[in-house]
Structures are given as structure tokens and as C-alpha cells.
């Protein structure tokens, strides 16, 4: 405190002599240091403090209107902001000590004081009172904040190893204040076993001053026996030589937040439908397993990949709700096939994956796979429906060359596709040859995409002969791929993959557009009556594209060909597969006046009687029937039936794969309209086909 500033003192003293002697002492010590207001009665003093500002009170404890400590008590209560120094007689030392306990800052004994002593005492009283006020305020502030935050407080004396726990701290654990002692075990013995070590470590780190404060989340046992999540924070005080001697802090209940966090984490790692772990979770586990294997190759593991067979069909026909139920039931059955150490996850859609993190023999993996397949054999009963389903399984085993989890999953997937190709409900172990094949397929896919960009496709044309005239009536457009490295490729080399990868649509559109443009050119150049036609093959998947009619319409307009000279071939298989809404789709195409032809008829086992359902114009008998026409199997009867039925339905007929004059004669005898096959000509490039048009040969003579 600045010595220059004078102190405003309230002196409450009934004895005038004493008062005057005090005046005197002060005046001598420092004439301007203290400004004194004097009252003789306590009540007057109280009045005055409410009118004027004082820095300190000098209080005689024996006054006419109050007595002894009572006086002090009242004063402290009425004006707690004012520091008080008491004046006592020589004989009342014990009262003085009691006065200090009750809040007086100091005491002065009458008769044994000098001016300097009084002034010093007053100054210290003011200063100490102010410091105590600030401290009390900050303590109150902290306590209020802690209470508002619902925190418990603790204060650890490291010398005595005793901890003060606040009532709230105890309450958070379900105890009352009295039920909790002051030993550290009240805290540490209740911690979850997994959290003891981390908590001790965090405290030790802070004691070593490696952290600027202590902070730890842990589970602590509540009186009810359950664990609650708490966040504890604290700070230590250190002696001059760096030893911690006290640490205090707070504890807040974060159970609700932890539960939300845990749920979020759980949701992010699980499939909401089946409640199984999801792909992310699976990959995390697989990652750990792979790392362990790489560190110790005796820790073999296996990944089993299961894909449901025909799930899409089931889902489409039963509806998504039932599809979901089925998936849940399947998940339940599969789960029961997995050993306790294994993990099963749903990868999305109809795919499931199993990780067997530790196996000692391949048979352990194949056994699980067999169980999984068996588990799916019995029908699923859903809302009175009996649903049969099966899955195909691929298995990949741990191997040295794996560095990433994706590689293992990819191989399990490849093996699964091989299992699928072998028929439904089977499993296959991945082996390196599959990888080579998969790589080749992948290369082919890349090439295919490039081929589309670089226009590496071309069309070969195979003549279709009219049996009435013996002359060329039209062509079938057959796509070829002029591969930069591998030369001319046939549909068998790339169509299946193109279909699988969704690229066939693009190829088909290309064929329609280019074929139609070529047809237009030839129709203009070689006027025929009727004009020559072009048959173009459509894949099943392009039929599903809603803009197909628009596309064809655009091509017709662009080229100006007569619509009925364009014939779209759709295989019987595709029609059967795309059964949903097929008639609607065919009818839409018919509206364009193009002609529709069922290709490979007889291979799809559609019943002959169902033929009249489809809005079609032409029927193309599959080459296998023609090839066997002369054999003992008696296909001639079938061919005859097909042709006469087609005629009944007003369809014309093309016979495919006509290879011998004999076949041609028989077909003619059955009034088949058209024929196609090596007997007449193989498919050829545009310029050879043009030459053929030019020559316009008659094949009737071939038949004779
Ligand atoms: P497809 O529609 O049944 O076509 C007839 C196939 O039989 C052609 O094979 C043709 O070259 C071949 N062939 C011709 N004459 C004879 C014969 O006398 N005996 C025998 N055994 N076969 C003969 P290619 O060109 O290899 O085509 C195979 C299949 O690829 C076609 O079968 C068709 O389904 C598909 N395809 C061809 N081009 C396209 C296309 O642009 N789009 C679509 N979606 N499929 C196409
Ligand atoms: Ca065809
Ligand atoms: Ca065919």
C-alpha cells in the first residue's frame, strides 16, 4: 500500500483519555498519515460507516452499548468489507486471540503501543483484509463454477497423501459426504481396471512436469455397481526444488457424451439393417490381422467372401422390404457358422465377408465355408413365403505377397466369381492362376474402354438369303474388334466382359448407328424390291435403357432408312431374363415400325405356346436345331413344329447356321423364308459384303 495515501480511520472508543492518547501518538508518528473520525458509542460508529468511507476500524472491545466479542461480531456482520483492529486491555490477551479467530485483523494492547506500531498494524490490516477478500472471491467464484458445471472437486495433499473430496464428488458416485473418506483409494480402487494404468501414468507425467495439467477420462464405479465415465482435470503445485506437494482439480460426469460417442462409433462401423459390422470395421480388423501375419508368418488367417445368388431377382420380385428381411435372416444364420474368434461383416448389398484371424489349416476355412453354404440350404420362411436362396463363396488365405487388405479382398472376390461360374451354392479357394485370369480380364476391360474411345470396332456383315428367290435379302451385323495387339477379335472374346462391365450398351449403340448408315448407303446404291434389310443384335441390358426407342428413332431419322428394313434381334434368353415389362418395351420399339426378331429360338426353353404373347415379327431358329436336323435325334420334327407355329402366328422364319445343301432343301420344303450360314457366306467386312451385293449371286443353284 502506498505510504503517501492517508488512512481514514474510524475509532470507536468510549474512553476519552485513551482516545486522546491515540490521537497524540498518531500525530507524532505521521501527522498526515491517518485521518481519524472518533465516536464513543458503537451505534454511532455503525451510523457513520454508512455515511462515510473508512479504510479501517479501530475498535475498543468494551463499549457502553455492547460488550466484548459481541461487538466485533456485530461489526463484522454489518460491514464485512471493513477490516477491524481491536483494542484491548493488558489483562484481556485471551479475548484478543479469540477476536483474531472471529475475523479481527489484529489487536493492539492499550498502554504498550506507539504511533508507528499502530500505523503499521492498520496498514497491514487493510492490506490483508483486501487480499483475503480477493481470495475468498476467487474461491467462491471457482466453487460456483464447479457447482454450475456439476463438477466434483478434489484436493490432494501429497505430503500426507490425503485427499479432500467435495460433497458433490461423493454424490457423483452415489455416496454422501460422510461415506467417503480422505484416502486416495476412495478414488483409485473404484476405477475400471483398464483405466487404472492410464490414469496413474497421466498423474505421473504431470508430477514430472511433462504436461502442464493433468487430464484423464476414465470409468469409475458408482455405488449402483455400474461404471460412469468421468473427466478429471487437475493441477499440481510444486516446491522450489520442483517436487509436487499438492494437486487439486475437478471431476465431471461425461457418461452421456461417452455413450453418444460410442453409439456414433458403433453406427459408423455397423450395418444398420443386420447389425453386423460393416466393411470399414472389417477392413480395420483385417488390417490388424495382416500386420500381425507380416510380423509373424505363423499367424495364418483366411478371408471368406460370400455373395448371394440371384438376390437381385428375389429383391425385385418380392419387394425391398422382404429383401431386407431375407438379408437379416441370412445374416442370422451365417453368424451362427462363425467360430467365436471370427468376424462376420456385411459389405453392403448381398455381400458378406468373414475373417478367420487365426487358422492352422486350410480345412478350417473350408469347413466354415461349407457350414455357411449348408446354413442357407433350408428355405427361409417370410410372411408365409418359402424362399430358397444360395450363396457363392470365395476364400483367400494369408500369403506373403499381400501388403494391403484390398488385395486379399480382391482375391477372395475373384475366387467367389469362379465359384459362381461353377454353378450356385459353391465355394472356391483362390489360387494364383485366378489372379492371372483376373488380371487378363482387367486388362481387357481397360482395352475395351480405350477401344470405344479410339473407335476400334467394326462390323462384319453376314448375308441372309431368301429361300424364295435364292438371293441375298439382307445382312446380320456382327461386331468385331480390331485389337491393336491381338488382331481381329470375335464377340466370344469380349462380349461377356463388355456386358458385365456395362460397356455393351455403348457397343450396341455404335453398331446400330453405323450399321444403319451402311445399310442406307447400300440401299441407295443397289435398288432392290423389297429393299435389303439389316438385322442388328441387341443385348438384354440395352433393352432396359428407357431411352432406347428414342435412340433408334434418332438413328432412323438421321439415316432416312425405312424403319421396317431395320430388324432388331433379341435372344430368347434375354427376353426370358428381362421378363418384367418386356412386352411394354417391345411394343414401344414396334411403334417405330422397326421389326423385331427373336434370336437363338429354341435354346431358352420358352414354351412354344407363349410365343404369341410377344409383339414380334420374326423368329430365328437356333443353329443347333439346323445342325441336328438330319441326325437321329429327330430335330426335323421340332424344326417343322416351330416353323408351322411361327406361320400360324404370322411370323416369318430365319434358319441360322445353314451349312449343307441338304439342310437348305429341307428348310425350303418346310417353307422357311430365310437362311443364314456358311453354306452361303460367312460374315465379311464391308467392302467384301459390298462386292457380294454387286455380284448379286443366286444360291438356289448351290442347293441343286
Ligand atoms: P448370333 O446372333 O447367333 O450370330 C450368329 C453367329 O454364328 C455369328 O458369330 C456368326 O459368325 C456365326 N455363324 C455364321 N454362320 C454360321 C454357320 O454356318 N455355322 C455356325 N456354327 N456359326 C455360324 P459371331 O459373329 O461370332 O457372333 C457371336 C454372337 O455374338 C452372336 O450370335 C451374337 O449373339 C453376338 N453378337 C455379335 N455382334 C453383336 C452385337 O453387335 N451386339 C450384341 N449384343 N451381340 C452381338
Ligand atoms: Ca443374331
Ligand atoms: Ca443366333
Distance (Å, whole) CA 466 – CA 480: 25
- Does residue 680 contact residue 661 with C-beta atoms inside 8 Å? no
Distance (Å, whole) CA 375 – CA 393: 13
* CATH assignment of 7-145, among 3.40.50.300, 1.20.140.10, 3.40.50.2300, 3.40.50.1000: 3.40.50.2300
Beta bridge partners of 490: none
Cα 615 to middle of ligand 1, angstroms: 23
3-state helix, strand, coil in the chain (%, to 5): 45, 25, 30
- Counting every residue written for the chain, the total comes to 704
Beta bridge partners of 57: 10, 84
What are the b/e assignments for 456-476, b being 16+ CB within 10 Å?
A: bbebbbbbbbbbeebebbbbb
576 pLDDT tier (thresholds 50, 70, 90): confident
Would the CB of 478 count as within 6 Å of ligand 1? yes
pLDDT on residue 508: 95
Which residue do the cell numbers 456382327 mark?
A: 478
Beta strands 595-601 and 566-571: pairing type? parallel
- Indicate the top mutation candidate among 481, 537, 542 to test ligand 1's pocket, ranked by most ligand atoms within 8 A of CB: 537
Atom 3 in ligand 1: which residue has the minimum CA distance? 600
Q: How many CB atoms lie within 10 A of CB 365?
A: 24
The architecture that CATH gives domain 149-259 is 2-Layer Sandwich (3.30)
Beta bridge partners of 458: 480
191 pLDDT tier (thresholds 50, 70, 90): very high
CA distances from 286 to 279, 353, 400, 429, 684 (A): 10, 11, 15, 18, 54
Query: Looking at per-residue confidence, does 603 or 353 come out higher?
Result: 353
Beta strands 34-39 and 7-12: pairing type? parallel
pLDDT on residue 606: 66
- Does residue 315 contact residue 323 with C-beta atoms inside 8 Å? yes
From the number of C-beta atoms within 10 Å of its C-beta (0-12, 13-18, 19+), residue 419 rates as: buried
Phi, psi of 221 (to 5 degrees): -75, 125
CA distances from 40 to 14, 62, 104, 301, 603 (A): 4, 11, 19, 97, 127
Atom 45 in ligand 1: which residue has the minimum CA distance? 537
Distance (Å, whole) CA 415 – CA 302: 13
Domain spanning 272-430: CATH superfamily = Reverse transcriptase/Diguanylate cyclase domain (3.30.70.270)
* CATH assignment of 445-696, among 3.20.20.140, 3.20.20.450, 1.10.10.10, 3.40.50.2300: 3.20.20.450
Q: CA quadruple 278, 282, 283, 285: dihedral positive or negative? A: positive
Atom 27 in ligand 1: which residue has the minimum CA distance? 491
pLDDT on residue 497: 81
CA distances from 672 to 59, 155, 253, 473, 567 (A): 135, 104, 88, 14, 18
- E strand residue ranges, 539-648: 566-571, 595-601, 618-621
Would the CB of 398 count as within 6 Å of ligand 1? no
Helix or strand or coil: residue 367?
A: helix
Atom 34 in ligand 1: which residue has the minimum CA distance? 537
Distance (Å, whole) CA 310 – CA 140: 72
Would the CB of 491 count as within 6 Å of ligand 1? yes
470 pLDDT tier (thresholds 50, 70, 90): very high
Helix or strand or coil: residue 150?
A: coil
Quick one: average pLDDT of 288-306? 95
311 pLDDT tier (thresholds 50, 70, 90): confident
CA distances from 418 to 305, 307, 495 (A): 12, 12, 18
pLDDT on residue 607: 65
Ligand 1 atom nearest 460 alpha carbon: 25
- Does residue 654 contact residue 620 with C-beta atoms inside 8 Å? yes
Half-sphere exposure of 546 (CA within 13 A, CB side): 0
pLDDT on residue 633: 65
Is residue 158 predicted with pLDDT exceeding 90? yes
Cis peptide preceding 482, ω within 30 of 0: no
Ligand 1 atom nearest 683 alpha carbon: 11
DSSP secondary-structure letter at 609? G
Atom 19 in ligand 1: which residue has the minimum CA distance? 657
User: Residue 128 contacts by C-beta under 8 Å, 6 or more apart in sequence?
Assistant: 83, 105
Cis peptide preceding 530, ω within 30 of 0: yes
Helix or strand or coil: residue 465?
A: strand
Beta strands 533-538 and 472-483: pairing type? parallel
Would the CB of 499 count as within 6 Å of ligand 1? no
Closest CA to 355 of 370, 366, 345: 345
pLDDT on residue 578: 66
Distance (Å, whole) CA 659 – CA 685: 20
Atom 30 in ligand 1: which residue has the minimum CA distance? 491
Query: Looking at per-residue confidence, does 691 or 628 come out higher?
Result: 691
- Does residue 104 contact residue 15 with C-beta atoms inside 8 Å? no
Cα 495 to middle of ligand 3, angstroms: 14
- Indicate the top mutation candidate among 458, 478, 479, 511 to test ligand 1's pocket, ranked by most ligand atoms within 8 A of CB: 478
Give the DSSP letter string of 199-263: HHHHHHHHHTTSSSSEEEEEEEE-TTS-EEEEEEEEEEEE-TTS-EEEEEEEEEE-HHHHHHHHH
Give the DSSP letter string of 67-87: BHHHHHHHHHHH-TTS-EEEE
Would the CB of 663 count as within 6 Å of ligand 1? no
Query: Looking at per-residue confidence, does 314 or 663 come out higher?
Result: 663
- Does residue 539 contact residue 505 with C-beta atoms inside 8 Å? yes
Is residue 580 predicted with pLDDT exceeding 70? no
The ligand whose atoms approach the alpha carbon of 477 most closely is 1
Cell numbers standing for residue 625? 436345331
Would the CB of 511 count as within 6 Å of ligand 1? yes
134 pLDDT tier (thresholds 50, 70, 90): confident
Cα 598 to middle of ligand 3, angstroms: 9
**pLDDT > 70: percent of the chain:** 97
User: Residue 608 contacts by C-beta under 8 Å, 6 or more apart in sequence?
Assistant: 641, 642, 645
Domains 7-145 and 272-430 share a fold: no
Work out the mean pLDDT of the chain and round it to a whole number: 90
pLDDT on residue 249: 92
pLDDT on residue 185: 93
Atom 23 in ligand 1: which residue has the minimum CA distance? 657
Atom 33 in ligand 1: which residue has the minimum CA distance? 537
Distance (Å, whole) CA 693 – CA 284: 65
Closest CA to 337 of 410, 414, 393, 269: 393
579 pLDDT tier (thresholds 50, 70, 90): low
Atom 41 in ligand 1: which residue has the minimum CA distance? 479
Question: 59-73, 254-268, 280-294, 555-569: which range is least confident on average?
Answer: 59-73
- Indicate the top mutation candidate among 459, 488, 491, 493 to test ligand 1's pocket, ranked by most ligand atoms within 8 A of CB: 491
Cα 620 to middle of ligand 3, angstroms: 7
Residue 309 CA, distance from chain mean position: 25
Question: What would the pLDDT profile of 342-387 be if each residue is shown by its tens digit?
Answer: 999 999 889 999 999 999 889 999 999 999 999 999 999 988 888 8
Phi, psi of 158 (to 5 degrees): -80, -15
Which residue do the cell numbers 498518531 mark?
A: 26
Domains of the chain by residue range: 7-145, 149-259, 272-430, 445-696
Is residue 704 predicted with pLDDT exceeding 50? no
Question: What would the pLDDT profile of 224-256 be if each residue is shown by its tens digit?
Answer: 999 999 999 999 999 998 899 999 999 999 999
Distance (Å, whole) CA 682 – CA 698: 16
pLDDT on residue 490: 96
Would the CB of 490 count as within 6 Å of ligand 1? yes
- Does residue 476 contact residue 470 with C-beta atoms inside 8 Å? no
Cα 511 to middle of ligand 2, angstroms: 13
pLDDT on residue 1: 46
Cell numbers standing for residue 466? 431368301
Helix or strand or coil: residue 392?
A: strand
Is residue 703 predicted with pLDDT exceeding 50? no
Cα 265 to middle of ligand 1, angstroms: 54
User: Residue 194 contacts by C-beta under 8 Å, 6 or more apart in sequence?
Assistant: 219
Amino acid at each position: 500500500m502506498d505510504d503517501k495515501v492517508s488512512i481514514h480511520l474510524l475509532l470507536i472508543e468510549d474512553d476519552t483519555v485513551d482516545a486522546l492518547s491515540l490521537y497524540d501518538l498518531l500525530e507524532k508518528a505521521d501527522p498526515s498519515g491517518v485521518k481519524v473520525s472518533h465516536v464513543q458509542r458503537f451505534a454511532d460508529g455503525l451510523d457513520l460507516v454508512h455515511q462515510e468511507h473508512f479504510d479501517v476500524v479501530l475498535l475498543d472491545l468494551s463499549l457502553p452499548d455492547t460488550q466484548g466479542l459481541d461487538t466485533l461480531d456485530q461489526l463484522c456482520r454489518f460491514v464485512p468489507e471493513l477490516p477491524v483492529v481491536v483494542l484491548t486491555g493488558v489483562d484481556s490477551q485471551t479475548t484478543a486471540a479469540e477476536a483474531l479467530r472471529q475475523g479481527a485483523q489484529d489487536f493492539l494492547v492499550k498502554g504498550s503501543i506507539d504511533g508507528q506500531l499502530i500505523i503499521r498494524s492498520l496498514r497491514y490490516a487493510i492490506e490483508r483484509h483486501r487480499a483475503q477478500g480477493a481470495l475468498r472471491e476467487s474461491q467462491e467464484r471457482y466453487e460456483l463454477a464447479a457447482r454450475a458445471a456439476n463438477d466434483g472437486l478434489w484436493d490432494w495433499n501429497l505430503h500426507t497423501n490425503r485427499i479432500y473430496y467435495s460433497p458433490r464428488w461423493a454424490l457423483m458416485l452415489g455416496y454422501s459426504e460422510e461415506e467417503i473418506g480422505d484416502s486416495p483409494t476412495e478414488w483409485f480402487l473404484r476405477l475400471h481396471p483398464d483405466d487404472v494404468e492410464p490414469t496413474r501414468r497421466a498423474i505421473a507425467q504431470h508430477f514430472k512436469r511433462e504436461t502442464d495439467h493433468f487430464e484423464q477420462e476414465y470409468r469409475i464405479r458408482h455405488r449402483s455397481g455400474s461404471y460412469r465415465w468421468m473427466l478429471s482435470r487437475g493441477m499440481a503445485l510444486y516446491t522450489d526444488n520442483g517436487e509436487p506437494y499438492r494437486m487439486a482439480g475437478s471431476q465431471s460426469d461425461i457418461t452421456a457424451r461417452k455413450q453418444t460417442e460410442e453409439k456414433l462409433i458403433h453406427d459408423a462401423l455397423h450395418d444398420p439393417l443386420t447389425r453386423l459390422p460393416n466393411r470399414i470395421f472389417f477392413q480395420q480388423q483385417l488390417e490388424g490381422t495382416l500386420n500381425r501375419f507380416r510380423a509373424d508368418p505363423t499367424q495364418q488367417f483366411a478371408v471368406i467372401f460370400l455373395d448371394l445368388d440371384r438376390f437381385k431377382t428375389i429383391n425385385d420380385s418380392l419387394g425391398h422390404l422382404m429383401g431386407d428381411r431375407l438379408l437379416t435372416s441370412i445374416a442370422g444364420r451365417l453368424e451362427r457358422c462363425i467360430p467365436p474368434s471370427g468376424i462376420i461383416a456385411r459389405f453392403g448389398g448381398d455381400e458378406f465377408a468373414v475373417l478367420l484371424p487365426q487358422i492352422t489349416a486350410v480345412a478350417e476355412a473350408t469347413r466354415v465355408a461349407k457350414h455357411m453354404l449348408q446354413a442357407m440350404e433350408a428355405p427361409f420362411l417370410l410372411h408365409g413365403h418359402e424362399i430358397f436362396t444360395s450363396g457363392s463363396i470365395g476364400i483367400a488365405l494369408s500369403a506373403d505377397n499381400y501388403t494391403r487388405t484390398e488385395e486379399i479382398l480382391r482375391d477372395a472376390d475373384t475366387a467367389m466369381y469362379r465359384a459362381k461360374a461353377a454353378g450356385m451354392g459353391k465355394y472356391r479357394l483362390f489360387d494364383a492362376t485366378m489372379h492371372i485370369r483376373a488380371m487378363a480380364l482387367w486388362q481387357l476391360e481397360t482395352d475395351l474402354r480405350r477401344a470405344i474411345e479410339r473407335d476400334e470396332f467394326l462390323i462384319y456383315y453376314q448375308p441372309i438369303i431368301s429361300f424364295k428367290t435364292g438371293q441375298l435379302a439382307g445382312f446380320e451385323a456382327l461386331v468385331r474388334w480390331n485389337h491393336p495387339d491381338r488382331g481381329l477379335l470375335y464377340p466370344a472374346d469380349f462380349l461377356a466382359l463388355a456386358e458385365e462391365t456395362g460397356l455393351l450398351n455403348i457397343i450396341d449403340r455404335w453398331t446400330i448407328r453405323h450399321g444403319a448408315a451402311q445399310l442406307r448407303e447400300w440401299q441407295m446404291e443397289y435398288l432392290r424390291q423389297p429393299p435389303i434389310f439389316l438385322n442388328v443384335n441387341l443385348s438384354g441390358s440395352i433393352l432396359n435403357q428407357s431411352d432406347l426407342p428414342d435412340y433408334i428413332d434418332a438413328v432412323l431419322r438421321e439415316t432416312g432408312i425405312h424403319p421396317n428394313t431395320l430388324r432388331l434381334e433379341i435372344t430368347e434368353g434375354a427376353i426370358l431374363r428381362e421378363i418384367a415389362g418386356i412386352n411394354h418395351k417391345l411394343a414401344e420399339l414396334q411403334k417405330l415400325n422397326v421389326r423385331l426378331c427373336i434370336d437363338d429360338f429354341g435354346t431358352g426353353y420358352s414354351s412354344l405356346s407363349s410365343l404369341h404373347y410377344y409383339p414380334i415379327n420374326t423368329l430365328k431358329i437356333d443353329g443347333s436345331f439346323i445342325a441336328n436336323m438330319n441326325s437321329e435325334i429327330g430335330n426335323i420334327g421340332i424344326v417343322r413344329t416351330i416353323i408351322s407355329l411361327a406361320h400360324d402366328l404370322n411370323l416369318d422364319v430365319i434358319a441360322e447356321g445353314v451349312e449343307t445343301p441338304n439342310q437348305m432343301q429341307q428348310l425350303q420344303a418346310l417353307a422357311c423364308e430365310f437362311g443364314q450360314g456358311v453354306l452361303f457366306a460367312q460374315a465379311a467386312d464391308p467392302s467384301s459384303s459390298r462386292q457380294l451385293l454387286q455380284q448379286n449371286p443366286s444360291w438356289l443353284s448351290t442347293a441343286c
